[in-house]
Chain A
């Protein structure tokens, strides 16, 4: 039901874009105004989000420690799991951002028929998540060729590597296939795993359907209904250089693709996709486990009411004297 709601939302968006792409008057809206508005919303929204996070202090040093602390020299310290310096903590965050190390730990808990608990390795989610994010990064990078003239050699290189398995003309991009499979897996597990379906919100399906729409239209343009790439490049360079125009030859399918990308960007800062920034700011991961060695300062350290020794002694004076913990008063 929640997935259906999300599908309807994304379907309506794509439908509106398809209709609008066929109406000449709306083509500049899709090709110029929507991308600019989306870019502005994305930038402003992400800055606002990160500034909002940054405004709140980190009052306590609360890393989740996953390995041996640095204490005694004869006990081997695990710097990635229990970072002691800022650099070690940065390496830990890098491991999270680039390799999804925490997700790699994943296990599946099962109560066997003999009523024993088993913890089975479960790496598929990690593999799919990493495949999706890595492919997306490569695809975004590849898209630079539309915005830059001449196309930088590094972009050409990545493209060539990506298309190395050349079985068809045009070359099949590895990342196109991988991202599609990864997205389908991520969607499939949300729908088929009862537990996951129970806890998923419409907002968990929206980005998946949006991305599937974007990847789908992208692949279609490349392999099936080819669009005029020269027109696309003209439009992209125009956008990038603030001389926007929608060339006559711009395909409708491309405009739908662009519209979905724009929606994704606009949606980004107001959704769970902000995890892109949040992963760097998580205090359980980005702080060193050295709070006993170096004092962590809390800017709002609030004064509290304390029961002082003097008050305590006063209250228990008779008993303290009787048991000899306090000398009798003169």
Chain B
């Protein structure tokens, strides 16, 4: 990225003179803050409307002939299907409490990144088209006519929201910008307007079973390769079952965990844990993705991709499902899966085969988070842990947006960390737990062309990390999200280069004392453990 951190920090928070109701985005001048459009081949594969080559910098976006009618009808359809949308369109009093809660506003100063105005971009059209006052009084009542420029503005700002839901915590009516962004993206999608970093993973996942488009033989190869690495570090040979019928547990992880650094170390941690406790589990090459980029496109695509989890659990005849560390995956699993693709009456209420704990909070969905599972193991004293094998790591924990604000999974990872590392430090309270700041690259925005906006959006998170780095010497940022693991290293390199990124189960894997292992001189990354150098 060309701009230096110092340049990026010259943020102008005073709003411009121009009335926000006049839409205007100069895409040419704002390169680095938007994502490339969806490639036609991906739209065609998924059967999405209006596949074509186009660029946001084009004057003509090649909208369908009757685009206005399509949006109007689409809006009406969404209002009929979602009470949330109706209530959120009607209730906002523009009190401004959300304004400075958005990481994109804090990092950019662009007033349309204040959640209230982001929603107003949609709400103004709603008032104009669907409310009595708006139809009669128009602009005086806050109504705004739908024009191609409004559509362009929607594209810019609704793909500048990571659906992190932080603003919703502070809103007196709980207005959830993620919900509004999801609706706006549904509308844009009807016109064939979306971004490739969302559409391609969705198309890949639909076809191969995972976002990265990894085919089954490569899936197997990757895992075997990781097991060889693991054998080097621990001396233990692991052969994880894939597509094994009749296993007790189906284990599903985000695909980045078996593909890219540093997610692979988290994956190694899972495998060591299962090996040590003798869990009867299986991976699946068909349901080889925990994440769900469908969430960033439309409700229908969430359901299409998510359907594979239950389908595969049923086909393999497992008893319940265990899920890896992933953020938006857990939003989908916790808040959408059972409703969309359940009931999972062919599964059993999850029960830990080691401790006997019945996870009755997952009695219907039958899917348990790996952190819940591991915390329960630790609490029952079923793991021998040696935190000194994480010596040298001064750890802090980044609450990923969705496990925090969709699930309430706050204490499980902290409980685990306190048991597996020697030094753990919290970031300031306004930046963690339910108030946690997004990585700035979620919801499909983690691509290279959007780098400036990513670094801006990630500023509040990076700033909090810098704080604990300077104060306590924190040198590793742990998290339970695959997107975090993919994008936070870049963010850290930019703002706090001294800090690295890891999954919680990487720390578990380092600390876990295993039967028959050789003496560990390196951590899972193959780096010498301080004080134990060979």
Q: Mark B299-334, 1 if CB is under 8 A from A, else 0.
A: 111011001100110010000000000000000011
Beta-carbon contact of A106 and B217 below 8 Å? no
Kindly list chain B residues whose C-beta atoms are within 8 Å of the C-beta of A74. 379
Contact of A270 among B116, B132, B375 (CB under 8 A): B132
Tell me if A230 counts as interface (CB < 8 A to partner B).
Answer: no
Tell me if A201 counts as interface (CB < 8 A to partner B).
Answer: yes
Tell me if B9 counts as interface (CB < 8 A to partner A).
Answer: yes
Beta-carbon contact of A60 and B335 below 8 Å? yes
Which of the segments B57-65, B188-196, B357-365, B480-488 contacts the partner chain? Answer: B357-365
A307 CA / B170 CA spacing, docked (Å): 40
A308 CA / B310 CA spacing, docked (Å): 11
Main secondary structure of the interface of B (DSSP, over half): helix
Beta-carbon contact of A306 and B304 below 8 Å? yes
A106 CA / B165 CA spacing, docked (Å): 15
Q: Mark A66-93, 1 if CB is under 8 A from B, else 0.
A: 1111111011101001101000000000
Beta-carbon contact of B367 and A292 below 8 Å? yes
Provided the pairs A81-B434, A102-B171 are in contact, do residues A292 and B364 lie with their beta carbons within 8 angstroms? yes
Tell me if B14 counts as interface (CB < 8 A to partner A).
Answer: yes
Q: Which one of A49, A64, A75 has the greatest number of beta carbons of chain B within 10 Å?
A: A64
Beta-carbon contact of A323 and B216 below 8 Å? yes
Q: How far is the CB of B55 from chain A (nearest CB, A)?
A: 29
A300 CA / B11 CA spacing, docked (Å): 45
A278 CA / B359 CA spacing, docked (Å): 35
Kindly list chain B residues whose C-beta atoms are within 8 Å of the C-beta of A57. 81-83
Contact of A291 among B20, B114, B334 (CB under 8 A): B334
Which of the segments A169-177, A214-222, A313-321 contacts the partner chain? Answer: A313-321
Tell me if B407 counts as interface (CB < 8 A to partner A).
Answer: yes
Kindly list chain A residues whose C-beta atoms are within 8 Å of the C-beta of B304. 304-307
Tell me if A196 counts as interface (CB < 8 A to partner B).
Answer: yes
Beta-carbon contact of B303 and A325 below 8 Å? no
A54 CA / B87 CA spacing, docked (Å): 10
Beta-carbon contact of A309 and B315 below 8 Å? yes
Kindly list chain A residues whose C-beta atoms are within 8 Å of the C-beta of B526. none
Beta-carbon contact of B133 and A199 below 8 Å? no
Q: How far is the CB of B259 from chain A (nearest CB, A)?
A: 17
Q: Which of B201-231 contact A (CB under 8 A)?
A: 206-209, 215-217, 220-221
Tell me if A108 counts as interface (CB < 8 A to partner B).
Answer: yes
* Nearest B-chain residue to A300, judged by Cβ: B81
Beta-carbon contact of A293 and B364 below 8 Å? yes
Beta-carbon contact of A316 and B216 below 8 Å? yes
Q: Which of A289-306 contact B (CB under 8 A)?
A: 289-298, 300-302, 304-306
Provided the pairs A116-B463, A292-B361, A323-B221 are in contact, do residues A195 and B379 lie with their beta carbons within 8 angstroms? no
Beta-carbon contact of A195 and B13 below 8 Å? yes
Kindly list chain A residues whose C-beta atoms are within 8 Å of the C-beta of B361. 69-71, 84, 290, 292-293
Tell me if B411 counts as interface (CB < 8 A to partner A).
Answer: yes
A198 CA / B112 CA spacing, docked (Å): 10
Kindly list chain B residues whose C-beta atoms are within 8 Å of the C-beta of A129. 95, 172
Beta-carbon contact of B405 and A291 below 8 Å? no
Tell me if A62 counts as interface (CB < 8 A to partner B).
Answer: yes
Kindly list chain B residues whose C-beta atoms are within 8 Å of the C-beta of A290. 361
Which of the segments A28-36, A141-149, A247-255, A280-288 contacts the partner chain? Answer: A280-288
* Nearest B-chain residue to A198, judged by Cβ: B15
Contact of B372 among A72, A116, A298, A307 (CB under 8 A): A72
Tell me if B338 counts as interface (CB < 8 A to partner A).
Answer: yes
Q: Which of B454-505 contact A (CB under 8 A)?
A: 459-460, 463-464, 466-467
* Interface size of B as a range: 35 or more
Kindly list chain A residues whose C-beta atoms are within 8 Å of the C-beta of B185. none
Tell me if B412 counts as interface (CB < 8 A to partner A).
Answer: yes
Beta-carbon contact of A64 and B335 below 8 Å? no
Beta-carbon contact of A302 and B430 below 8 Å? no
Kindly list chain B residues whose C-beta atoms are within 8 Å of the C-beta of A270. 131-133
Tell me if A322 counts as interface (CB < 8 A to partner B).
Answer: yes
Beta-carbon contact of A119 and B335 below 8 Å? no
* Nearest B-chain residue to A301, judged by Cβ: B340
Q: Which of A163-194 contact B (CB under 8 A)?
A: 193-194
Kindly list chain A residues whose C-beta atoms are within 8 Å of the C-beta of B172. 96, 100, 102-103, 129, 279
* Nearest B-chain residue to A75, judged by Cβ: B411
Which residues of A are in contact with B by a Cβ distance under 8 Å?
A: 5, 49, 52-62, 64-72, 74-76, 78, 81-82, 84, 96, 100, 102-103, 105-109, 111, 115-117, 119, 125, 129, 193-196, 198-204, 270-272, 274-275, 278-279, 281-285, 289-298, 300-302, 304-309, 312-313, 315-316, 319-320, 322-325
A307 CA / B431 CA spacing, docked (Å): 40
Beta-carbon contact of B307 and A306 below 8 Å? yes
Beta-carbon contact of A52 and B174 below 8 Å? no
A270 CA / B95 CA spacing, docked (Å): 18
Q: Which of B81-122 contact A (CB under 8 A)?
A: 81-88, 90-97, 99-101, 106, 111, 114, 116-117, 120
Kindly list chain A residues whose C-beta atoms are within 8 Å of the C-beta of B435. 105
Beta-carbon contact of B408 and A82 below 8 Å? yes
Kindly list chain A residues whose C-beta atoms are within 8 Å of the C-beta of B120. 199
Kindly list chain B residues whose C-beta atoms are within 8 Å of the C-beta of A115. 9
Q: How far is the CB of A201 from chain B (nearest CB, A)?
A: 4
Q: Which one of B376, B411, B459 has the greatest number of beta carbons of chain A within 10 Å?
A: B411
Tell me if B286 counts as interface (CB < 8 A to partner A).
Answer: yes
A-B CB contact pairs (8 Å), 5 listed: A64-B174, A106-B97, A279-B91, A284-B168, A284-B179
Tell me if B51 counts as interface (CB < 8 A to partner A).
Answer: no
Beta-carbon contact of B286 and A312 below 8 Å? yes
Q: Which one of A61, A70, A100, A278 has the greatest number of beta carbons of chain B within 10 Å?
A: A278
Tell me if B409 counts as interface (CB < 8 A to partner A).
Answer: yes
Tell me if B173 counts as interface (CB < 8 A to partner A).
Answer: yes
Additional pairs, 8, CB under 8 Å, beyond known A106-B170, A278-B91: A56-B81, A62-B179, A103-B172, A198-B15, A272-B94, A302-B300, A304-B300, A324-B220
A13 CA / B15 CA spacing, docked (Å): 32
* Nearest A-chain residue to B460, judged by Cβ: A117
A72 CA / B65 CA spacing, docked (Å): 55
Q: Which one of A107, A272, A274, A282 has the greatest number of beta carbons of chain B within 10 Å?
A: A282
Q: How far is the CB of B323 from chain A (nearest CB, A)?
A: 11
Beta-carbon contact of A282 and B342 below 8 Å? no
Q: How far is the CB of A274 from chain B (nearest CB, A)?
A: 5
Beta-carbon contact of A116 and B303 below 8 Å? no
* Nearest B-chain residue to A103, judged by Cβ: B172
Q: Which 3 A-B pairs have the closest CB atoms?
A: A69-B408, A278-B91, A284-B174
Provided the pairs A70-B361, A71-B372, A319-B217 are in contact, do residues A274 and B303 lie with their beta carbons within 8 angstroms? no
Q: How far is the CB of B339 from chain A (nearest CB, A)?
A: 5
Beta-carbon contact of B15 and A298 below 8 Å? no
Contact of B311 among A117, A204, A294, A306 (CB under 8 A): A306
Provided the pairs A199-B120, A281-B87, A283-B84 are in contact, do residues A125 and B303 lie with their beta carbons within 8 angstroms? no
Tell me if B406 counts as interface (CB < 8 A to partner A).
Answer: yes
Kindly list chain A residues whose C-beta atoms are within 8 Å of the C-beta of B85. 56
* Nearest A-chain residue to B102, judged by Cβ: A109
